[in-house]
Amino acid sequence: MLDTLRRIIQEVTGARDLDQALDVIVTRVKKAMDVDVCSVYMVDREHRQHVLMATDGLNAKAVGMVRMKDNAGLISLVGTREEPVNLADAPGHPQYLYFPESGEEQFHSFLGVPIIHHRQLQGVLVVQRHAKKKFSEDSVTFLVTIAAQLAGAIAHAEASGGISGLTKESKNRKRNVAPLQGQPGSPGVAIGTAVARFQIADLDSIPDRAVEDTRAEVTLFKKAVNGVRKDIQSMLSRMNEILPTEDRALFDAYLLMLEGSAITGDVVKRIKNGNWAPGALRETIAEHLRAFDAMEDTYLRERGEDVRDLGRRILSRLISDEPQTPKKYPLRTILVGEEITASMLAEVPVKRLAGVISVRGSSTSHVAILARAMGVSAVMGIEDLPVSRVDGHKIIVDGYTGRVYVDPPRGVREEFRHLLREEEELSRELHELRDLPAVTPDNIGIPLYVNSGLLADVSPSRRSGAEGIGLYRTEFPFMVRDRFPGEEEQFKIYRQVLKSFSPAPVTLRTLDVGGDKALPYFPIEEDNPFLGWRGIRISLDHPEIFLVQLRAMLRASAGLGNMNLLLPMISSVAEVDDALRLLRRAYHELIDSGVSISMPRVGVMIEVPSAVYQVRELARRVNFLSVGTNDLTQYLLAVDRNNARVASLYDALHPAVIRALQQIVDGARAEKTPVSVCGEMAGDPAAAILLLGMGIDNLSMSAANLPRVKWVIRSFTRRRARSLLKEALTFEYAHSVRNFLNAALEDAGLGGLVRAGR
Ligand code: PEP
Ligand code: MG
């Protein structure tokens, strides 16, 4: 059963569009369960109806015709109850609705299960039999299992089909205007043209791309096929001497596949329909793989791998002549890919780059941080985006909400153009604040710093009007190398950062790798990386690495006196004691060798729940505390900060997080230790009101958010912020806190921040 399930899911995942996906589902499920009918009804939200979208067993003409209100019929009963309905005699049920065109009257038993994706009902999967007998428990669990897994695949197929293809008919098809949901990666809205990037070795990531000269493209393809044929023939002649005849059959099979018209003929057909050769090849290979996958015979099924291998060989021949990057990027390029890397981003001329969309990754991925530093909007972790179908299409990236619209209709485009104009207006207003201090109307100064981690960040940081760097993530210079940087190399980087802001303060954080931040040359394989070997734990276990970093930092600070040092992922006081011991050792060794330096101010990050409860003990040992709300939220709420599936549960305005913050501030104040916030929360204008009310001493955020937060600081007295905080602490839900703070921003005349940051 597991095998059947896996194959059905694979086939559906590879489907070109929703129609194909649904057809696969109904035929395969009907066969696997040995039933008389299998059908899928989908929700039509616009008309609040359930529509029969595919069937194997009912009258095919009824597809698209059978529609029922979402409060009538057995289908809606499944939908509203959101659980299986298993009946021996459906026509005898009071809620049964009869549609003569379906030919349904002959079937008695009925089993319907809901198809739910991200908590939303997408449709209902139904099986029926002639016999008047309930379905077995096994049948129910099978159908429930398959519906649960199909939900994501259906959403993906729906998104694929919603994007107009390269042929005329598909361009005329009704388009799906629902946005795709990912995670906000970098704030801002961008409207532009998608440029899909792909890995050469990965056939599945090849995008569709329109070609004008289809004849030339066919010639290119045939040349590539000939090249592969020659490769295989020469392999074959080499193997002749070593392998027995039967083992050489594989190569013969390859040649047969190339000679026969099935694969090559299909590719040529697709090229003639307007797709470039690599895209036509991807689609053809995927179709053939589906056929192999559906085979009962395991041996034959595994031959599908040979088809894939052949596809890859033709592709590498095709692509080796093809430039990887477009000759000319469109004016407003939106870079799209399964995994966009920092180097892909760097290839686009800065003026042409408008947005970034990556199927994998999160707001803390390297590329998202780089996008924020460059002021380019980004959406990450957008699982349902069919990358292969969007190249050259118009795309809207909403970096505030994590939404992406492909081929948006005019109304949506207008709405976003309006938003862009509002944003431009807002940034003009904010620009005027650049040189004004971050002081409340009752004259309390809250220094605003930037988070940084790349030298590329430094100039936008300065332009934003920041008063220093509140968090320099040293892991980034470690990530972009192929080995641990040596003391000299590190010294140069830290020196440059410290000097660029001197005399303003710069907080260098010691290495915080592990969790989701891996070093390519220091792989850590763990089942639970966020609860594993990360941050200070690695530094203390490897004093040889930690001491090099500390020495480089101390030497870099010589004569400048603006360096603060921050320790990440502290979960016990012993870790602080040990780190301070190593710091003192590095300091004294340098002093003994004649280097003239002073001991930096040292801080501890509060980002683990245990640190909240020992905040006073920690505060006593150091000069300042800095709250890492990204991790603190993750650990308090038990929500992986990178997991798109639980992203809606991740909210720094959760009442538990706010109370923890209040406890941290109270503890720090009792020890007279200053406390700052350097997680993303510090850059959220609504949250900034609460932090001001709590008495946080300074805030550190990405450069793009700094002017917004400055506006908040300059608009709210601490007194007012305190009373808003008091009320916010009485709420039980994160969304109530958000609504309440948004209303306060509107009241203060800062509605622009609410609208832009929807
Ligand atoms: C945090 O956890 O809030 C933080 C600032 O550190 P990082 O995002 O680098 O884990
Ligand atoms: Mg952290």
Q: What is the 3-state secondary structure (H, E, C) of 158-189?
A: HHHHHCCCCCHHHHHCCCCCCCEECEEEECCE
Does 45 lie in the same domain as 101?
yes
Portion of the chain with pLDDT greater than 70, in percent: 91
Identify the pLDDT of residue 190: 94
Rounded to whole angstroms, the Cα distance separating 696 from 703 reads 19
Q: Would you place residue 444 in the very low, low, confident or very high pLDDT band (cuts 50, 70, 90)?
A: very high
Taking all residues of the chain, what is their mean pLDDT, rounded to a whole number? Answer: 88
Which tops the pLDDT comparison, 14 or 550?
A: 550
Ligand 1 centre from 642 Cα, in Å? 12
Which tops the pLDDT comparison, 516 or 310?
A: 310
Does 647 lie in the same domain as 572?
no
Which tops the pLDDT comparison, 263 or 303?
A: 263
Does 263 lie in the same domain as 394?
yes
Ligand 1 centre from 21 Cα, in Å? 41
Place of tokens 């408008």: 354
Which tops the pLDDT comparison, 728 or 454?
A: 728
169 is a domain residue: no
Identify the pLDDT of residue 266: 92
461 is a domain residue: no
Reading the block at residue 702, the tokens are: 């990405």
- Whether 699 has a pLDDT exceeding 50, the answer reads yes
Please work out whether the CB of residue 628 comes within 6 Å of at least one atom of ligand 1. Answer: yes
Which tops the pLDDT comparison, 577 or 182?
A: 577
Number of domains in the chain: 4
Identify the pLDDT of residue 204: 81
Identify the pLDDT of residue 688: 97
Taking the CA atoms of residue 283, residue 286, residue 290 and residue 292 in that order, the dihedral angle to the nearest 10 degrees is 120
Ligand 2 centre from 698 Cα, in Å? 17
547 is a domain residue: yes
Q: Would you place residue 164 in the very low, low, confident or very high pLDDT band (cuts 50, 70, 90)?
A: low
Identify the pLDDT of residue 229: 87
Please work out whether the CB of residue 364 comes within 6 Å of at least one atom of ligand 1. Answer: yes
Does 598 lie in the same domain as 641?
no
Please work out whether the CB of residue 66 comes within 6 Å of at least one atom of ligand 1. Answer: no
Mean pLDDT of 36-42: 96
Residue nearest to atom 8 of ligand 1 (CA): 630
Does 398 lie in the same domain as 251?
yes
Indicate which CATH number applies to the domain containing 729.
3.20.20.60
Please work out whether the CB of residue 512 comes within 6 Å of at least one atom of ligand 1. Answer: yes
Indicate which CATH number applies to the domain containing 157.
3.30.450.40
Give catalytic status of residue 38 as yes or no: no
Mean pLDDT of 403-410: 91
445 is a domain residue: no
Residue nearest to atom 6 of ligand 1 (CA): 628
CA 157, 163, 166, 171 torsion-angle sign: positive
Does 390 lie in the same domain as 242?
yes
Identify the pLDDT of residue 522: 87
- Whether 358 has a pLDDT exceeding 70, the answer reads yes
Contact (Cβ atoms closer than 8 angstroms) between residue 650 and residue 637: yes
Please work out whether the CB of residue 678 comes within 6 Å of at least one atom of ligand 1. Answer: yes
- Residues 363-393 have pLDDT tens digits of 767 678 778 777 899 999 898 888 888 989 9
Identify the pLDDT of residue 172: 45
Does 348 lie in the same domain as 201?
yes
- Residues 173-204 have pLDDT tens digits of 444 557 888 888 888 899 999 999 876 667 88
CB half-sphere exposure, 402, CA atoms < 13 A: 20
Identify the pLDDT of residue 657: 98
- Residues 520-560 have pLDDT tens digits of 788 888 999 999 999 999 999 999 999 999 999 999 999 99
Rounded to whole angstroms, the Cα distance separating 408 from 419 reads 15
Contact (Cβ atoms closer than 8 angstroms) between residue 355 and residue 416: no
- Residues 472-517 have pLDDT tens digits of 999 877 876 778 999 999 999 999 999 989 999 999 999 999 887 7
Rounded to whole angstroms, the Cα distance separating 684 from 737 reads 13
- Whether 322 has a pLDDT exceeding 80, the answer reads no
Rounded to whole angstroms, the Cα distance separating 741 from 725 reads 9
Rounded to whole angstroms, the Cα distance separating 603 from 664 reads 14
- Whether 19 has a pLDDT exceeding 50, the answer reads yes
Q: Would you place residue 142 in the very low, low, confident or very high pLDDT band (cuts 50, 70, 90)?
A: very high
Does 644 lie in the same domain as 588?
no
**Which one of 355, 382, 407 terminates a domain?**
407
Q: Which of 55-69, 231-245, 369-383, 552-566 has the lowest mean pLDDT?
A: 231-245
Which tops the pLDDT comparison, 702 or 38?
A: 38
Ligand 2 centre from 632 Cα, in Å? 8
Q: How many beta carbons lie within 10 A of that of residue 197, not counting itself?
A: 23
Q: Would you place residue 756 in the very low, low, confident or very high pLDDT band (cuts 50, 70, 90)?
A: low
**Which one of 161, 195, 221 terminates a domain?**
161
Q: What value, to the nearest 5°, has the Cα angle with vertex 253 and ends 251 and 256?
A: 115
Rounded to whole angstroms, the Cα distance separating 108 from 92 reads 9
432 is a domain residue: no
Residue nearest to atom 9 of ligand 1 (CA): 473
Does 188 lie in the same domain as 131?
no
75 is a domain residue: yes
- Residues 624-641 have pLDDT tens digits of 999 999 999 999 999 988
Q: Provide Rg for the chain, Cα atoms.
A: 30
Mean pLDDT of 725-735: 98
Does 240 lie in the same domain as 154?
no
Does 339 lie in the same domain as 263?
yes
Percent helix, percent strand, percent coil in the chain, to nearest 5:
50, 15, 30
Mean pLDDT of 123-134: 96
440 is a domain residue: no
Does 212 lie in the same domain as 265?
yes
Indicate which CATH number applies to the domain containing 380.
1.10.274.10
Please work out whether the CB of residue 679 comes within 6 Å of at least one atom of ligand 1. Answer: yes
Place of tokens 């009963």: 77
Give catalytic status of residue 678 as yes or no: yes
Which tops the pLDDT comparison, 304 or 439?
A: 439
- Whether 272 has a pLDDT exceeding 80, the answer reads yes
Please, which residues bridge with residue 240 across strands? none
What range does the domain containing 317 cover? 179-407
Residue nearest to atom 3 of ligand 1 (CA): 628
Identify the pLDDT of residue 248: 62
